[in-house]
Chains A and B, each alone.
Chain A
């Protein structure tokens, strides 16, 4: 289905008619859909951050009464953590890199002017928005939000009597995530088809930017993972409402409600969920890894070190990513021999990930790069990826997981590598592609403020480490995650129990973590100010402000230029990140520049 470009008539001039407004909202233009996804992710990340701050404050000052609410009840704390995990993982880390920047940038990076299925694309976004609304609406139903965490382990998630929020709230959670799974599967099919079918002349597979390889692999994983999740959600729904017993054992007794049906197993859910859940973390981080490779190379004015190996490692991470789900189950009733096998596959995935880090280090080695804000965030990504990644092999050893499982050590690990590195990737992307974001909004291309960007970077890096490094220590001390309260945990006789003493001892460090979390969240206000201010008042950007070599900076692919509508053929002549230095100047050999120089032959 061919879509004529509609940008110039719908957004450049003031909107007068409601029909125009509707057309610009329910658009099939991939730039706008990308921006819509990014706006949704920005809203979600704001919600998720506020939720986490409320949790942190409650943990260390349990008696503090929140304005308009009062103090936090245990079930409210669990509702907060369920919402925090669900919103952040699905609606931020899955949507923003893959669907947000994927829509905004991916077609241009392969020399295409559109995604393969524009209507499906728009439908995916609106389904995702409906999923978010459904999830948030559970705040207002009787019993409130589900309290079983983003992993929704049964029987807690099956039986309504298991706790507040496990009735209507849990149904809404199920419905929301099912919608999200459908939307993401559709959007991934769109991404894959676009990459396979819409590459321009000369854009061979080994000339694809690594960001495209990241999107490609993440989309492959999405189709596998989300379809399994959708099936699992359906089974869970049937257990809740159709009297089946996929996840409920016979004789299960929850809060006076006896299950007298068939004999299922909660472990089936764990297998299905983590078969989705582990690939999900690679879906969240692979586009960021690709972008990091490209930005480090661009600002170092060098090709990506071991480019072809990086393509291989991206695919290897994707492949191994579907073979490691059992490492979430070492102490969850998995056969001990199976634990050993999953331990090996998990250690194996550390190798392609290490190869990526080594390539990043080798690319920037003695390059005297330009320290722009996107470059700083890419370096921050590398640092956080290393720090968060190195604890991966520790947790991959079942014997150590036997002590560390579900402690704050794990919380520190996945927040550093997935949440912090993931968010740093998104920040790098935002600062880097901001001229294209403003162009997609129908405004002149602008850059974000560099001084504010640097301030944002350094305060975020310091904040991220100040929050998550100490969590390793409280985890080593034995602090379990998902505890609504650390103080005054009484034993049987009302006195402070040994468990209560263990938890109370972590309070000093926990207070430090909370102060740091408040600092980290406040540092994000710098970003918001910069974002809003730069939309109107940012420095005007040239056509290729970072002197990049990839096609999204091609003059013909900028939606603002009249040439965009020309459908003129675009041809690629070389792999990305080729630069030439003479005594006087550097020459940027962008992918689209014709092959008339003898230097290009070197390739």
Chain B
């Protein structure tokens, strides 16, 4: 954990935090372009007000075409350009699903914690049933022991991912709507009860990052957070092996979910 703390990247508090995902740099560039254009238009409009108010009185403007429609058309062109760029970026990450080879992780929001589930060596998630949910007994997601696929599923309270490999998150919510937000991954998506929303991205920078809830979910909304650890692929593989060993041997691990730990604060 000490190593994780060293590369904690919370940002400055008044600007974008570190960008650690594959789609992030393009998003940041587009955001910056937008912010600069906004600032320029803001200054321009206020300059027009100040200059317009400072001079002596003249006759009123008359040409509606030149002074009204032309600027609107110019703004239309500008906004269309920005929209086009934005739609291409959006389409690139949202219009298609993840690569079939992507790492599968299920994320479940529950008042007031995030749980992460890895499908294990059979690469298949076991069945969950709301009737079986029992956080006190170590089964916060309601994994069905009767389903053979659930035996090797690993439920963790940290999201651990390998760097440079695409991950396919399947996002669920058990009780109310939650909002999965990973600022350093430039990622945000609500988890809706009754639905499974897929979300894919590729971490590019090893480190320890914040996972927050950004949809008001109840009195503990502000403390519903988790940690994302992005590891090198070697470290990730050994972490995975360690997790599997612990699932079968019930060895305590700092990352494995134990009953009460994540549920409380």
Contact = CB atoms under 8 A, between A and B. Distances in A.
Interface residues of A, number: 110
Interface residues of B, number: 99
Interface string A28-53: 00000000000000000000000000
B197 A502 contact: no
Given A155-B175, A156-B176, A399-B86, A255 B64 contact: no
A492 B27 contact: no
B71 to A, nearest CB: 5
B221 A386 contact: no
A91 B7 CA distance: 48
Interface in B216-244: 216-223, 225-228
B55 interface: yes
Contacts of A394: 31, 34-35, 38
A197 B218 CA distance: 49
Given A484-B221, A506-B14, A250 B194 contact: yes
Contacts of A361: 45, 48-49, 52
Contacts of A490: 223, 265
Contacts of A263: 194
Contacts of B76: 351
Given A350-B79, A379-B49, A501 B64 contact: no
A340 B227 contact: no
A319 to B, nearest CB: 17
Nearest to B28: A403
A406 B177 CA distance: 13
B72 interface: yes
A441 interface: no
B247 interface: no
B4 to A, nearest CB: 9
B133 interface: yes
B150 interface: no
Nearest to B62: A305
Interface in B77-131: 79-80, 82-83, 86-87, 89-91, 93-95, 111, 129-131
Interface string A137-150: 00000000001110
B27 A477 contact: no
Interface stretch (A280-288, A362-370, A531-539, A588-596): A362-370
A162 interface: yes
B144 to A, nearest CB: 13
Contacts of B31: 394, 400, 403
Contact of B188 (A155, A265, A305, A331): A331
A491 B5 CA distance: 12
B210 A505 contact: no
B245 interface: no
Nearest to B209: A498
Nearest to B58: A366
Interface in B146-199: 157-158, 174-177, 179, 181, 183, 186-190, 192-195, 197
B16 interface: yes
Interface string A350-383: 1100110111011111111100000000010011
B107 to A, nearest CB: 14
A333 B196 CA distance: 9
Interface string B61-72: 100100110011
A159 B72 CA distance: 48
A358 B72 CA distance: 8
B13 interface: yes
A347 B76 CA distance: 9
Contact of B71 (A358, A368, A482): A358
A391 interface: yes
Contacts of A396: 83
B145 interface: no
Contacts of B183: 403, 478, 502
B58 A355 contact: no
Interface string A556-569: 00000000000000
A264 B192 CA distance: 12
Interface string B7-19: 0111111111100
B187 to A, nearest CB: 7
A482 B221 contact: yes
B245 to A, nearest CB: 21
A580 interface: no
B34 A162 contact: no
Interface string B199-217: 0000000001111111111
Q: Top 6 nearest A-B pairs by Cβ distance? A: A249-B194, A505-B13, A499-B225, A397-B86, A478-B183, A498-B210
Given A394-B35, A498-B211, 11 more contacts: A74-B220, A156-B177, A258-B131, A358-B68, A365-B61, A383-B49, A399-B90, A405-B179, A477-B13, A492-B158, A507-B13
29 contacts: A74-B221, A265-B192, A302-B60, A309-B64, A347-B79, A361-B48, A365-B48, A367-B53, A368-B57, A369-B53, A383-B49, A390-B38, A390-B41, A397-B86, A399-B89, A399-B93, A400-B31, A405-B179, A405-B214, A478-B183, A480-B214, A491-B225, A492-B157, A492-B261, A497-B226, A498-B210, A499-B226, A499-B227, A509-B14
